[in-house]
Amino acid sequence: MAALEYFTVECVEDKGREVYEQIASDVLLDLDLLRVVEKLHIFIDPRVPVFVAVGTTRRSGGLVRIRDFADVIVEEGRATLSIGDETYLAPMLSILWGRYGKDSIDQPDRFSVVVHLPEGEDPREIEEIVVADPEEGLYRDLIYALQIVAPEGFKVRRQYHAGGVFYYVASENTLPQEIVDTLVAEKLNLIGVTL
- Matching CATH topology for 6-59+134-190 and 64-132? no
User: What's the CATH code, domain 6-59+134-190?
Assistant: 3.30.160
The model carries a pTM of 0.70
Q: How far apart are CA 19 and CA 17, in angstroms?
A: 6
Length of the chain: 195
Domain map (residue ranges) of the chain: 6-59+134-190, 64-132
- The pLDDT tens digits of the residues spanning 51-105 come to 999 999 887 677 899 999 999 998 888 899 999 988 899 999 999 999 999 999 9
Class of domain 64-132: alpha beta
- The pLDDT tens digits of the residues spanning 100-128 come to 999 999 999 989 999 998 888 888 889 99
DSSP strand pairing (70-75 vs 78-83): antiparallel
| Ramachandran angles phi, psi of 55, nearest 5° | 180, -175
**What is the Cα Rg of the chain in Å?**
22
Q: How far apart are CA 191 and CA 8, in angstroms?
A: 10
